């Protein structure tokens, strides 16, 4: 594994990831103690799931990008920007939860507008940064065995679909708000929410499968075969979730 990030950057990203996960778990406790419903734009679910998801994703990206063949300075800058963006996204969502305000699509006051726009810009930054890593992986610039190369390429490919589905939800919510009012916008925005969540974490699950297989007494051809099965299974699961999202919502 070609880990080109500095030890300090590694530690910093891991600390930030841990703090984001802790923030998510704390807000799960707040949800249990409070009387807000699980669903809806004002739920404590959002700071819980976003904190947990961003923390896990940051740690995952730190790990999987260590396999990529790219300039050390470039990777360090991208990781630094990604870590800051993770904090900004979770902070904006958390602040709005404590203010009892929707985090996205909320332009009811100048402050709400500023936070919503910041989150939207942060989402665009996520696509650019993670897209740069994904392009590197999909071009085959990976220092690993074929089984890990496949896992990384599939994981990043699914991650890109997750990011695009997130952008699609914001776009649909914005259109829905303009045509049917704020409440309608919030209702239609999450139309592929489960697919979004499933695909985002493929970049951890599939490389983790390849890593675990590398610790077993298997040849590379056997590992590659099992990773192919894992990729196909994950892809089928993502398609099923997408279909259910579209049928239910």
Q: Are residues 174 and 198 in the same domain?
A: yes
Residue among 149, 166, 158, 156 at smallest CA distance from 133: 156
Q: Tens of pLDDT along 135-194? A: 999 999 999 999 999 999 999 999 999 999 988 988 888 898 888 877 777 778 888 989
Domain boundary among the residues 96, 111, 143 is at 143
Q: Are residues 125 and 208 in the same domain?
A: no
* Alpha helices (H) along the chain: 7-33, 45-64, 72-98, 110-138, 146-180, 182-189, 193-200, 202-214, 220-248
CB 122 within 8 A of CB 89: yes
* Residue carrying structure tokens 């996960």: 21
Task: Give Cα separations from 211 to 62, 90, 148, 224 (angstroms).
Answer: 15, 29, 7, 11
Q: Are residues 114 and 10 in the same domain?
A: yes
Domain boundary among the residues 99, 127, 143 is at 143
Residue among 17, 72, 25 at smallest CA distance from 44: 25
Q: Could you tell me the sign of the dihedral formed by the alpha carbons of 128, 130, 131, 137, in that order?
A: positive
If you average pLDDT over every residue of the chain, what do you get?
Answer: 92
Q: Tens of pLDDT along 84-102? A: 999 999 999 999 999 999 8
Structure tokens at 159: 């991650």
Residue 47, pLDDT above cutoff 90:
yes
Q: Are residues 64 and 52 in the same domain?
A: yes
pLDDT for the residue numbered 173: 86
Full-prediction pTM beyond 0.75?
yes
Q: Tens of pLDDT along 192-224? A: 989 999 999 999 999 999 999 999 989 999 999
Q: Are residues 95 and 154 in the same domain?
A: no
pLDDT for the residue numbered 249: 65
Q: Are residues 214 and 240 in the same domain?
A: yes
The domain in which residue 19 lies consists of 1-143
Residue 5, pLDDT above cutoff 80:
no
Q: Are residues 19 and 99 in the same domain?
A: yes
Q: Are residues 100 and 167 in the same domain?
A: no
Reduced to 3 states (helix: H, G, I; strand: E, B; else coil), residue 142 is strand
Q: Are residues 122 and 93 in the same domain?
A: yes
CATH number at residue 42: 1.20.120
Q: Are residues 192 and 227 in the same domain?
A: yes
Give the pLDDT band of residue 65 (cuts 50, 70, 90). very high
Q: Are residues 171 and 65 in the same domain?
A: no
Domain boundary among the residues 98, 117, 143 is at 143
CB 156 within 8 A of CB 138: yes
Reduced to 3 states (helix: H, G, I; strand: E, B; else coil), residue 68 is strand
Distance between first and last Cα of the chain = 42
| Count of domains forming the chain | 2
Q: Are residues 105 and 86 in the same domain?
A: yes
């Amino acid at each position: 594994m070609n880990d080109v990030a500095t030890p300090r950057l590694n530690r910093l990203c891991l600390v930030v990831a841990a703090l984001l996960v802790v923030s998510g778990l704390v807000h799960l406790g707040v949800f249990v103690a409070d009387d807000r419903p699980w669903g809806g734009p004002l739920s404590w679910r959002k700071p819980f799931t976003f904190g947990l998801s961003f923390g896990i994703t940051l740690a995952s990206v730190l790990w999987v990008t260590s396999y990529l063949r790219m300039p050390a300075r470039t990777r360090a800058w991208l990781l630094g920007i990604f870590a800051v963006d993770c904090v900004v996204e979770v902070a904006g969502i958390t602040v709005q939860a404590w203010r009892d305000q929707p985090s996205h699509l909320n332009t009811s006051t100048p402050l709400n507008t500023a936070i919503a726009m910041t989150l939207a810009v942060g989402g665009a930054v996520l696509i650019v940064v993670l897209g740069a890593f994904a392009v590197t992986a999909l071009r085959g610039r990976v220092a690993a065995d074929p089984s890990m190369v496949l896992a990384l390429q599939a994981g990043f490919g699914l991650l890109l679909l997750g990011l695009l589905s997130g952008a699609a939800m914001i776009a649909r919510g914005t259109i829905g708000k303009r045509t049917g009012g704020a409440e309608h916008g919030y209702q239609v925005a999450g139309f592929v929410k489960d697919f979004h969540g499933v695909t985002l974490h493929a970049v951890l699950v599939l490389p983790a499968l390849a890593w675990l297989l590398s610790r077993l007494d298997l040849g590379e051809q056997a590992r590659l075969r099992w990773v192919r099965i894992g990729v196909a299974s994950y892809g089928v699961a993502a398609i099923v979730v997408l279909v259910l999202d579209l049928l239910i919502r």
